[in-house]
């Protein structure tokens, strides 16, 4: 961590013993397998220089109307009112195209900066929003274990010094996604940069006093109180760090006027401010289109495509696009046959998007057959999402995937070179 930032924190918080205890991996774990294996890519240890930005599409995005097998008869037969006409599909080749509102993604595809992994899912698909999202977040389809998430486990296995920049950051108004929950490191959520500022004007107690009150010795503190103490100190420290990182304004890139775009812009600023945060997480909600799907999904895909492409362009301008990978996923796709409300119900396999300067661009894997469906009439997956996670962990973040996922998964070729 930058020496100046360490001085800044020490000046604000004094030597916070609690902060040190809360955020350091115990010494006997410091020489983990990861530390050994990643020293080649990053001699200082810890997650390498690469950054992962995760965009969660909440509600179950209809993959079939996003990455469209327009040449397949089955598509038109099953989507009487929802079918996107041939002449509107943004064609990627003579079989597959994108939803008409995804011009941005088409440009990224053509400039070798977008990969589309098709047919992603997991065995025995669950069609409950919450259970399926939990599965994507924990990478544990076989049993319910919500003690931590795959990204939480990722940052826990990173031997880092106390007092560094937060390893992961969630930008959103909702609670911290399970994916980021870790056993040891409270990950901050921030709603907006302004709301992250602790008010100390007008005669309020200064940050140092508040921190001292939280830090005062509490012998035999029960676990819940201990969690609250550590979280409180983490909040004060993170607030100070983010304020520091945002003081400089360096880009002229144009972002569309969407909430998602504004969040991605803030991420670009934080990355450019040299925060050592390696994982950013945002969500886009509203994909649960049981009724009247067409306008709702069109608007959302437009927001996704325009925001991500603006983000990648901004990163390119800042010279950062080779260090950032964007992952966009949803908890399931939707059913092949549309329902009677011009919508679709919960389904199974769906495509996942990866964008960035070093992605192995193109279509990865085949469109799941519309003729050969599972017992419930849904698409059969062929690529387990954990293979995708393994590829990102080993091939992008420099973190041993077996530690995080509990077993070996055959990686996909998603990174160039």
Partner 1 sequence: MAAQSLSPNTPLAEIDPVWAWSPLTPAFRPWTRELAAHLYRRAGFSATWAELDEAVADGCHRTVERLLSRAPQSDSFYGEADRSVAALLASGNANHLSAWWLYVMLNSPQPLLEKLTLFWHGHFATSAAKVTDGRMMFAQHALLRKHALGHFGPLLEELSKDPAMLVWLDSTTNHKAHPNENFAREVMELFCLGIGHYTEHDIKDAARAFTGWELRKDQFRFNRYQHDDGLKSLLGKSGRFTGDDVLKILLEQPATARFLVGKLYRFIVNETVEPPATLLEPLAAGFRAAEYDMTWLLRTMLRSNFFYSPHAMQQRIKSPVEFAIGLLHSLEGSANTYALADDLRDLGQAVFFPPNVKGWDGGAAWINSSTLVGRANLVWNVVSDRDGRYNTRLALDCLPALSGLGDPAAISRRLADLLLAFPLPDAVYVQLAAVAADKISGNQLARAVQAIATLPEFQLA
- The footprint of partner 1 (CB under 8 A) covers 58, 127-131, 166, 170, 173-176, 186-191, 195-199, 201-205, 209-210, 212-214, 216-219, 222-225, 227-229, 231-232, 234-236, 238-239, 290-291, 339-341, 343, 345-346, 376
Q: How far is the CB of 348 from partner 1 (least distance, A)?
A: 12
Placement of tokens 């595809």 in the chain: 109
Q: How far is the CB of 285 from partner 1 (least distance, A)?
A: 8
Cα 104 to chain centroid, rounded: 19
Tokens of 257: 């006027």
Q: How far is the CB of 411 from partner 1 (least distance, A)?
A: 32
**In contact, 33 and 400? CB cutoff 8 Å:** yes
Shorter beta-carbon distance to partner 1: residue 196 or 353? 196
Task: Give the Cα separation of 99 and 78 in Å (integer).
Answer: 17
Shorter beta-carbon distance to partner 1: residue 215 or 314? 215
Shorter beta-carbon distance to partner 1: residue 117 or 242? 242
Q: How far is the CB of 201 from partner 1 (least distance, A)?
A: 8
Shorter beta-carbon distance to partner 1: residue 41 or 174? 174
Backbone phi and psi for residue 190, each to the nearest 5 degrees, phi listed first? -125, 135
Q: How far is the CB of 51 from partner 1 (least distance, A)?
A: 19
**In contact, 305 and 109? CB cutoff 8 Å:** no
Q: Does residue 189 sit in helix, strand or coil? A: strand
Shorter beta-carbon distance to partner 1: residue 214 or 393? 214
Shorter beta-carbon distance to partner 1: residue 339 or 369? 339
Shorter beta-carbon distance to partner 1: residue 27 or 201? 201
Q: How far is the CB of 330 from partner 1 (least distance, A)?
A: 14
Tokens of 338: 């549309």
Q: Which residues are CB-neighbours of 17 under 8 A, at least 6 positions away?
A: 215
Task: Give the Cα separation of 239 and 197 in Å (integer).
Answer: 6
Q: Which residues are CB-neighbours of 156 under 8 A, at least 6 positions away?
A: 25, 148, 182, 183, 184, 185
Task: Give the Cα separation of 46 and 162 in Å (integer).
Answer: 12
Q: How far is the CB of 305 from partner 1 (least distance, A)?
A: 23
Backbone phi and psi for residue 356, each to the nearest 5 degrees, phi listed first? 155, 175
């Amino acid at each position: 961590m930058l020496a100046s930032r360490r001085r800044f924190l020490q000046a604000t918080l004094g030597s916070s013993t609690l902060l040190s205890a809360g955020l350091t991996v115990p010494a006997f774990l410091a020489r983990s397998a990861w530390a050994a294996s990643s020293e080649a890519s990053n001699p200082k240890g810890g997650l390498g220089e690469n950054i992962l930005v995760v965009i969660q599409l909440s509600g179950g995005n209809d993959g079939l109307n996003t990455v469209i097998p327009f040449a397949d008869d089955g598509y038109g037969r099953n989507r009487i009112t929802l079918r996107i006409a041939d002449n509107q599909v943004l064609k990627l080749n003579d079989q597959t195209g994108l939803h008409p509102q995804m011009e941005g993604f088409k440009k990224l595809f053509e400039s070798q900066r977008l990969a589309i992994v098709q047919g992603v899912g997991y065995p025995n698909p669950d069609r409950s929003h919450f259970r399926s999202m939990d599965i994507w977040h924990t990478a544990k389809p076989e049993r319910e274990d919500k003690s931590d998430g795959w990204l939480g486990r990722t940052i826990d296995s990173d031997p880092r010094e106390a007092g560094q920049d937060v390893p992961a950051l969630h930008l959103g108004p909702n609670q911290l996604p399970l994916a980021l929950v870790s056993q040891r490191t409270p990950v901050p959520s921030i709603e907006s940069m302004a709301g992250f500022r602790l008010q100390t004007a007008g005669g309020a107690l200064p940050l140092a006093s508040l921190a001292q009150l939280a830090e005062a010795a509490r012998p035999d503190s029960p676990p819940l109180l201990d969690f609250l103490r550590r979280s409180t100190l983490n909040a004060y420290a993170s607030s100070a760090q983010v304020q520091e990182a945002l003081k400089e304004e360096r880009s002229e890139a144009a972002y569309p006027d969407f909430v998602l775009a504004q969040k991605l812009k803030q991420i670009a600023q934080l990355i450019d401010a040299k925060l050592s945060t390696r994982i950013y997480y945002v969500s886009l909600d509203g994909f649960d289109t049981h009724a009247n799907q067409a306008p709702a999904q069109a608007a959302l895909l437009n927001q996704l495509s325009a925001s991500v492409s603006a983000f990648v362009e901004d990163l390119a301008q800042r010279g950062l696009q080779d260090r950032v990978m964007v992952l966009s996923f949803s908890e399931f796709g939707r059913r092949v046959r549309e329902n009677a409300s011009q919508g679709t119900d919960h389904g199974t396999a769906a495509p996942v998007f990866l964008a960035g300067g070093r992605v192995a661009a193109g279509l990865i894997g085949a469109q799941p057959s519309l003729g050969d469906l599972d017992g419930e009439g849904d698409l059969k997956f062929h690529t387990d999402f954990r293979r995708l996670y393994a590829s990102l962990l080993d091939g992008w973040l420099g973190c041993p995937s077996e530690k995080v996922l509990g077993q070996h998964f055959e990686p996909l070729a998603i990174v160039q070179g």
